[in-house]
Amino acid sequence: MMNKSELIDLIDRLRQEPTETEWFEFKVNNEEPQAIGEYISSLANSASMHDQEYGYLVFGVKDKTHEVVGTEFKPRKKKIGNQELENWLITQLQPSMDFKIFEFDYSGKPIVLFRIEPATNTPISFKGIEYIRVGSYKKKLADHPEKARKIWIKKPAVDWSAQICESASLDDLDPRAVARARDEYKKKYPDKAVEVDSWDDVTFLNKAKITIKGKITRTAILLLGKEESEHFISPSVAKISWILKNDQNVEKDYEHFAPPFLLNTDVLFSKIRNLKYRYLQENTLFPTEITQYEPYVIREALHNCIAHQDYELRGRINVIELSDELLFTNLGKFIPESVETVIEQDAPAEHYRNHFLANAMVNLKMIDTQGGGIKKMFMMQRSRFFPLPEYDLSEPERVKVKIYGKILDKNYTQILIAKTDLDLKTVICLDKVQKKKRLNEQEYKFIKPKKLVEGRYPNLFVAAHIAAVTGDKTSYIRNRAFDDAHYKEMILSFIKQYGAASRKDIDNLLLDKLSDALDEQQKKNKVRNLIYAMANRDKTIVNKGSSVKSKWVLAGNTI
């Protein structure tokens, strides 16, 4: 704990710093809790990036002049509902981090100092959003990815999974799991099989990088520990929940699994109903039947959840089973920039949340060589002509992976059968189209020259010649857009026959004939634009109604 003399010296040093220093902030009386939380996040991340021992938020000093003026802010008396400010801030900051609040006088003027630990293993977020300082301004870290990368590079993660459980011993490991670990290690390294049999348990566990110099790590507890050994990693949680739901999302059954994960993931796998799925036999290339899920894909998704879970967030891993889908969720930010980046680079990532754990899981054949498993999952789904795995990264501290056990779009499936030479990047784009997900501009520019999709961006669908291959010409006709001249001629023909047309008449005439790739609002906008073009550019119709109720007639008609 700092004494008053040390606190005053610290304030003097900070006042000598430039006004745009990114790892501290001077305020006078702005005590709004939301702003304080955002500043703690930004200063923790900036202190990490600048290799500072701490970040500082100081109340009672002017920001521009660094003049000490004192503050009226009393953090110990500040409450949010019934909760004290400090406790409230702690609950909103993730992952868990430390800060201290000091209240003291500087030359008779009250000062409040927040001393903030720098981020160490991941950027600090407040209410799910990470902040950073840019000059003297607080910004969202997501808008400055180059700064996020510097945090990871400058501050390698303190590997949670490599920490020693001081009071644990070999007796806290499940003998069945240790025996299974030996078998899997020999499968991974068959040339060492004879040598492995000569090792005692301590030697084997050290060689497999599960323990460190005979000491039990958190990794050892997760993978090989007895069920009752979970308390060694408290307050972290080692639980995987399997939940079975019906089509109405109502829970029908569940079971929770504790360590040893090396054994119990097999038990969980056996709970999943991997039923037979029959293809429609419209093409001789279709298999008669296939299981809904490739076992490798299930195990890889589940084991990835174990390897990349942020155990400091104290939550469970979930496997939710629906009739035709599996949803895997784990806590913690997805560290790579995107799934597409992982697949395209096809190489191990530069850093991992649980490097020691992931390495042990590779040695026990639970996951592929680090970085290759995700791409293999995509390739397997593609080879089965099923939708690709779907990663949902919309939540800042949660990763969701959906595995489909059925065909979504027959056209997509038949394209993969007919065009086996498509590269994976192209298949990923087509998969997004079949799922009606928006392609970004780069993806659209990539796939457009291949003439595999048509439609007005971003509303895309399978192109005509592909529809012909798949035999689904009807769907193509419903999705394609006719030339604007076709729709204009329909409007003119209606007016010629009936003398005039209201906007409602024109809507009734055209809306159900426009492309199904457009939603209802886009269809209405399309009709409005057609009418505007005919009246103002083509000069073929005029409005003879009121501003409230339109009445369109042919140009030159005196009706």
Do 83 and 195 have their domain in common?
A: no
Express each pLDDT in 503-526 by its tens digit. 999 998 888 878 766 778 888 888
Is the residue at 294 inside a domain? yes
273 and 400 share one domain: yes
Are residues 121 and 215 located together in one domain of the fold? no
Residue 144 lies in a domain: yes
Q: Count of domains in the chain?
A: 4
| Residue owning tokens 């709970």 | 271
Q: Which pLDDT value is given to residue 521?
A: 87
Q: What is the pLDDT of residue 345?
A: 67
Residues 505 and 443 in one domain: no
Positions of the chain with pLDDT lower than 70, given as ranges: 1, 20, 121, 150, 152-157, 279-288, 337, 345-351, 369-371, 462-483, 516-517, 547-548, 557-559
Give me the pLDDT at residue 439, please.
86
- C-alpha closest to that of 122 among 45, 58, 178: 45
Output the 3-class SS for 327-389. Answer: EEEEECCCCCCCHHHHHHHCCCCCCCCCHHHHHHHHHCCCCCCCCCHHHHHHHHHHHCCCCCC
Residue 83, beta-bridge partner list: 80
Residue 148 and residue 204 in one domain:
no
Domain-ending residue, one of 451, 479, 507: 479
Considering the domain boundaries, does residue 559 fall inside one?
no
pLDDT, position 531: 92
Closest CA to 211 of 83, 342, 85, 363: 363
Q: Angle at the Cα of 375 (from 369 to 377), degrees rounded to 5?
A: 95
In a domain, 420, yes or no: no
Residues 447 and 515 in one domain: no
Residue 240: give its domain's CATH number.
3.30.565.60
Look at residues 362, 385, 407 and tell me which one is the last residue of a structural domain.
407
Residues 255 and 338 in one domain: yes
Cα(512)–Cα(173) distance, integer angstroms: 66
- The verdict on 90 and 168 lying in the same domain is no
* Cα–Cα distance, 315 to 256 (Å, whole number): 13
Order of all β-strands in the sheet with 129-134: 93-94, 125-126, 129-134, 137-140
433 within a domain of the structure (yes/no): no
Token pair, residue 49, equals: 């990036």
User: Residue 283 has what pLDDT?
Assistant: 47
Structure tokens at 392: 């949902």
> Does residue 445 form part of some domain?
yes
pLDDT of 559: 45
In a domain, 44, yes or no: yes
The domain boundary, picked from 106, 134, 156, lies at: 156
| Same domain membership, residue 31 and residue 13 | yes
- Residue by residue, what is the 3-state secondary structure of 15-44? HCCCCCCCCEEEECCCCCHHHHHHHHHHHH
547 in a structural domain:
yes
Q: Which domain holds residue 464?
A: 439-479
- In the three-class reduction of DSSP (H, G, I as helix; E, B as strand; rest coil), residue 55 is classed as strand
My answer on whether 329 and 283 are in the same domain is: yes
What is the pLDDT, as a whole number, of residue 464? 46
Q: Does the pTM exceed 0.75?
A: no
Say yes or no: 192 and 203 in one domain: yes
- Kindly report, residue by residue over 521-542, the tens digit of the pLDDT: 888 888 999 998 999 988 999 9
198 in the same domain as 120:
no
The CATH number of the domain where 536 resides is what? 1.10.10.10
